[in-house]
Amino acid sequence: MSLYLSRYFRSNIGKDELTVTIEEELTSIRNYLAIQNIRYRDKFRFVVNIEPELYTQKILRMLLQPLIENSIFHGLEQKNETGTITLSAFENDCGMILTVVDDGVGFSANNLRKGLALKNIDERIKLFYGEPYGMQIISQPSAGTTVILTLTRV
């Protein structure tokens, strides 16, 4: 656990760069998830579906990890059985789409978990990429949650 924690901190603390590659963000996420899987005794699995040419694409630092964290704490932690978090990245006519999908407990529209971290992510996207880009959240009770980030290539 100490090894994963030190790797996680080393990849995130004290860095001046505003952006990282998707591959660098994914490395940080994997270290974070290793810690959480120790804590939760392998209660969830992580699936990655990223188009190979996007691994070198730059995105804002710490854009995806808070979404993974939300999936664990608000979706999978409350689930009785093992859950899955899927991270996907692909291109379309609008730019680049990144999704974080969990099969956790979900929530109703009235309980949209737009906490400070999620608001911050959406605002950071809009400031960096422009107003047409941002975050969308889709969820239903007992059906999991999907977070969609629409970005442009940098």
Give the tens place of pLDDT for each residue, 35-84.
999 999 889 999 999 999 999 999 999 999 999 999 999 999 989 999 99
pLDDT at 7 over 60: no
What's the mean per-residue pLDDT of the chain? Answer: 88
pLDDT at 100 over 90: yes
Number of alpha carbons in the 13 Å side-chain half-sphere of residue 115 = 9
Comparing 53-62, 81-90, 107-116, 144-153, which segment has the lowest mean pLDDT?
107-116
Model confidence, pTM? 0.89
Query: Any idea of the CA torsion for 47, 59, 6, 40, to the nearest 10 degrees?
Result: -30
Q: In sequence order, what are the residues at sequence separation of 6 or more whose Cβ sits closer than 8 angstroms to the Cβ of residue 73?
A: none
Q: What is the pLDDT averaged over residues 133-138?
A: 95
Q: How many domains does the chain have?
A: 1
Tell me, what CATH number does 142's domain have?
3.30.565.10
Parent domain of 106: 2-151
Question: Which pLDDT does position 108 carry in this prediction?
Answer: 76
pLDDT at 16 over 80: no
Distances (CA, A) of 153 to 21, 35, 115, 140: 11, 31, 27, 30
Q: What is the pLDDT averaged over residues 15-30?
A: 90
139 vs 109: CA distance, rounded Å = 7
pLDDT at 125 over 70: yes
